[in-house]
Chains A and B, each alone.
Chain A
Amino acid sequence: MTGNLLSVLVFLPLAGALILLMLPRENHGLIRSMAGGTALLTLGVSLFAWSRFDGAASGMQLGESYPWIDFGMAAVRYELGVDGLSMPLLVLTTVIAAIAVLASVKITERVKEYFVWMLVLTTGLLGVFTALDLFLFFLFFELTLIPVFFLISIWGGKERNRAAFKFLLYTGLGSAVMFVAFIALAFTGAEAAASAQASFNMIVLADMFANPAIPEVLGTAVRAGLFAAVVLAFAVKLPVFPLHTWLPAAYTQAPVPVTMILAGVMSKMGAYGVLRVGYGILPDQAATFAAVIAIFGVINIIYGACLALVQTDLKMLIAYGSMSHMGIILLGAASYTQAGMQGAIFQMVSHGLIAALLFFIAGALYERTKTGALSELGGLSRSVPVLAGFMLAAAMASLGLPGLSGFVSELLAFMGIFGAGDLIPAAAVIGIIGVIGMILTAGYLLIAVQRTAFGEMKEQFKGLPDVRPGEYVPLIGLLGLSILIGVYPNLLSDIINTTVIDIITRAGG
């Protein structure tokens, strides 16, 4: 029954997109329900996969493997599988995708194309999180790029073209580096293992690079270069300072559901790539570079938070805040400890939920008030109390209030970094600077809440409609999941624990 479960999951949205293509262009209702149905079905399948997943077992599960392309000197296989690192992200993707599709009621132009792109994007994302073959991984990674480009450039805001191109070029740059890095990985791996045929399989490559004789075959510099290339490739997506300037443009210009996916899931692709490819295949180099990664993590936290602190536009503020939160993933991962690594994964999931929620709320506010400028907003607690309440809750979740998922990830990440003293020279200093970031986070989020929700009610905002029934789905869904993880984190921890132990022990050799 679970033989091809992952394939079904990955290609279900694509199949939905194909069916959408055949539907009549004008029948918006049918198109919407078809797209929503597909997304929900995908969510169901992913939950089924979750139920079939054994958190206590190590290694890949629900695997599929078929020969695909044989270049002679290298072989590409169609290989899928999940472990504790990808399983939560898989479910996160389907959740956010379903919610984003359901939240797309404001899209009224070129409806059919829009949903087709959304579903194609979903397939790409799911593929990235399940592919075990670097080549396949790359294909899916690129597959996510095209839909996003069109989604921004057709349905985006005023500056959409610029934003879309910036996104495309930046990520294109990352992809180019990634492609080179992958090929180099495959062939140096084959060289190291004295294998006639290069393999793109991540697991096989990890074993090749884990060969104790490898330092004699491949110099330290070569492996360090490979690791740096892999990290650089994914750093664009994350994004890591100073490769971040596409982010505010893309996040603010994309239509709200797309921003939810961008901030919620796509930025996790970068982090996932670093962990899966970088840490998975080259664990020793990851340990060597730990200090560098940690420093970039802190820079991200502080720099993003500082920028968010003085933004005048709500979406921009959330966008930079989102960048700041990515630093926590780096910080946790850099520590290379059980807690830190778990914190990084927790943060991926948690930030996925919270960023999506924040952007949804910002979008809902913009739709009502027609302005995103903090100076023009204010007093919305009076006119839209429920929405303002959700905004407050989302801000609290984002600043790491206990009982919500953000807290668990921050706690774990900081436990990691403070416990990484033997790996990172000044871990405590880095950790302290990191926690100062938490204060700044509270600062900018409270500024956002105060400027929008608090204060005298403005005349022009009188009588705005509060949350509509349809909007409760994303609001309650995302916040509810965040609370669920925050109140009982073992829900997630039980899934990822074994995998993290595996990642940590790899570096030992």
Chain B
Amino acid sequence: MSAEMIFFLILGTIVIACSVLVLILNKISHRIASMAFAFMAIAGLYFLLRAEFIGIIQIMVYVGAVSILFIFGMMLTDHRAKGFGPERSRVHKLLSFTGVGILLGTILYGVLQADFAPNDNPYVGSAEMIGLELYGNYLIAFIGVGVLLLAALTGAIVLARKEAE
């Protein structure tokens, strides 16, 4: 068993465990913390795949920004879960579980069966190459995403602002 495999197993276990915890923990804050750990582990997987730039962005954006955002979101709303009614019905949960399970089974069957040519020399991307692509082939998309961010920014402000008295 290679070192990479060991790392993969550890990181993969963390990702799955933490994401399961996100769904089953009681306290919202714990759930969000668990989510942050999952994101960290995913960043580790990126490093494992020699996509360091993406890994760093993952840590900065998800672990740094998004998690904090969620914590703010949690704190500004009903973090003590006062206004909650009853849970989803068992039937609903069971149906969801079955549906998702079938989906997962289908995908896993295909994914594990698929025969990809083994590639022991991972392709190593660099920030430079990504930059060249972004400002070359994907320039229009990149500008579009910029506009999207701007729109999201203003939209978020407008939505979250208190109504003028």
Q: Do the two chains touch directly in the complex (Cβ atoms below 8 Å apart)?
A: no
What residues make up the interface of B, taking CB atoms closer than 8 Å to A? Answer: none
What residues make up the interface of A, taking CB atoms closer than 8 Å to B? Answer: none
